[in-house]
Amino acid sequence: MQSGMKGENVILEVRNLSKFFRMGRHSVLKAVHDVSFSVRKGETLGLVGESGCGKTTCGRTSIGLYEKTSGSTLFNGKEIAQMKGKERKDLTKRVQMVFQDPYTSLDPKMKVHRLIAEGIRIHNIAANRNEEQEIVLDMLQKVGLHPSYAYRNIKEFSGGQRQRIGIARALAVQPEFLLCDEPISALDVSIQAQIMNLLMELQEKMGLTYLFIAHDLAVVKHFCDRIAVMYLGKIVEMGGSEEVYGHPLHPYTKALMSAVPIPDPDLEMGRKKILLSGESSSHMGEDRCRFADRCPYVSNQCRNEGPKMKEVAPGHWVACHQI
């Protein structure tokens, strides 16, 4: 899946997007600040970064689930904020989410059938109950679960099975775009690869486009066509997976990469981990590089001026004064 772009058609275009949260009367938290990226039809863009850097906020604001503070987000060329009525409802069908924790995101009191059928009903996808039934059973099969599971209670299932049901629920409405927000990080390691493989297989079969949020870099590397690395509300580096993994340029990306475990023990032993020192700066400050307090290469310029994104190789973007 890493072999180049799967078509150049942009499905989601995010330009200078910001999302601030008001914190009390006089301060705002700039959870996402001036972020731009696009997702092409059929590809997977990975959004990575440490906990609290703004991945979920960025993902949700990008698809109109959170109201943006400024900037623009276009879905198939149309500004999401301007969509109303039928068009808006249609967007909620075309864009679906898979959540991190299948224990909290799926109502434990509900039967599997009802969970999967909910969206089908909201969007009038089935002509009648028979057709609805067919779609539900077909979805169960697509996610690798036995059709008889439809009549069981969600409580009876393991984490991996619940996540399969969560995926079936999202895909039952035939979406084009899936925001996967750390869909495997709550699962047992032994189950994670199965769910990733399922997501890949379904992407291929159903022509889906993914925005995939993760903090585990090893996962993203094998799964994503391109990667955007986030640090405190900003994208600091973005490019093709192989390019970003093979030639990370931003000091933060380098630090992240050096923490990725390498399976070969000899390599791992000889590997130098770049430790990040200092507290991470708050989201509040501006007019400086947000990574300045932790960066080994910091200069005065970094403390006075936030670096802008530059294209250093075709499709490879970095925001750092030293590059």
Ligand X SMILES: Nc1ncnc2c1ncn2[C@@H]1O[C@H](COP(=O)(O)OP(=O)(O)OP(=O)(O)O)[C@@H](O)[C@H]1O
- In the complex, which residues of this chain contact ligand SF4 (CB under 6 A)? 251, 289, 291-292, 295, 297-299, 302, 307, 320-322
Count of beta carbons in the 10 Å neighbourhood of residue 91: 18
Please give the structure tokens belonging to residue 253: 């990306």
Extract the tokens encoding 175: 């979406």
Rounded least distance, CB 99 to ligand X, Å: 11
48 neighbors 256 (Cβ within 8 angstroms):
yes
Q: If you search the block for the tokens 């601030």, which residue do you land on?
A: 20
Residue with tokens 């984490």: 159
Q: What six digits make up the tokens of 68?
A: 């943006």
The DSSP-derived string for 98-113 is E-S-TTTSS-TTSBHH
Q: Which is nearer to Mg ion, 58 or 295 (CB)?
A: 58
Residue 242, CA atoms < 13 Å, CB-side half-sphere? 6
Give the number of residues in contact with ligand X, rule: CB under 6 A. Answer: 13
User: Among residue numbers 207 through 236, which ones bind ligand X (CB under 6 A)?
Assistant: 215
Q: How many residues bind Mg ion (CB under 5 A)?
A: 1
Q: How far is the CB of 227 from Mg ion (least distance, A)?
A: 16
- CB-based contacts of 201: which residues, under 8 Å, 6+ apart? none
Nearest distance, CB of residue 14 and Mg ion, angstroms: 17
Q: How far is the CB of 228 from Mg ion (least distance, A)?
A: 14
Work out what residue 302 binds among ligand X, ligand SF4, Mg ion, none; the CB cut-off runs from 5 to 8 Å by kind.
ligand SF4
Kindly tell me which residue out of 57, 161, 209, 253 binds ligand X, with binding defined by CB under 6 A.
57
Q: 141 vs 304, which CB is nearer to ligand SF4?
A: 304
Tokens of residue 250, six digits: 């931003």
State in angstroms the smallest separation of the CB of 146 from Mg ion: 32
**19 binds, options ligand X, ligand SF4, Mg ion, none, Cβ within 5 to 8 A by partner type:** none
Q: β-strands 226-231, 44-48: how paired? A: parallel
Cα(142)–Cα(138) distance, integer angstroms: 6
Instruction: Please list the residues that pair with 98 across neighbouring strands.
Output: 180
Is 56 near Mg ion (CB under 5 A)? yes
Q: What is the DSSP letter of 299?
A: -
Say which entry of ligand SF4, ligand X, Mg ion, none residue 215 contacts (CB below 5 to 8 A, set by partner kind): ligand X
CB of 84 to ligand SF4, least distance (A): 41
- CA–CA distance, 215 with 186 (Å, rounded to integer): 12
Binding partner selected for residue 93 from Mg ion, ligand X, ligand SF4, none, CB under the kind-specific 5 to 8 Å limit? none
Is the Cβ of residue 55 or residue 113 nearer to ligand X in the bound state?
Answer: 55
Q: Which does 297 bind (CB under 5 to 8 A by kind): ligand X, Mg ion, ligand SF4, none?
A: ligand SF4
CA distance 135 to 61: 30
Closer by beta carbon to ligand SF4, 246 or else 296: 296
Q: Among residues 57 and 243, whose Cβ is nearest to Mg ion?
A: 57
Q: What's the token pair of residue 299?
A: 């200069």
Residues at the interface with ligand X (CB under 6 A): 21, 29, 31, 49, 51-57, 215, 283
**Contact residues for Mg ion, defined by CB under 5 A:** 56
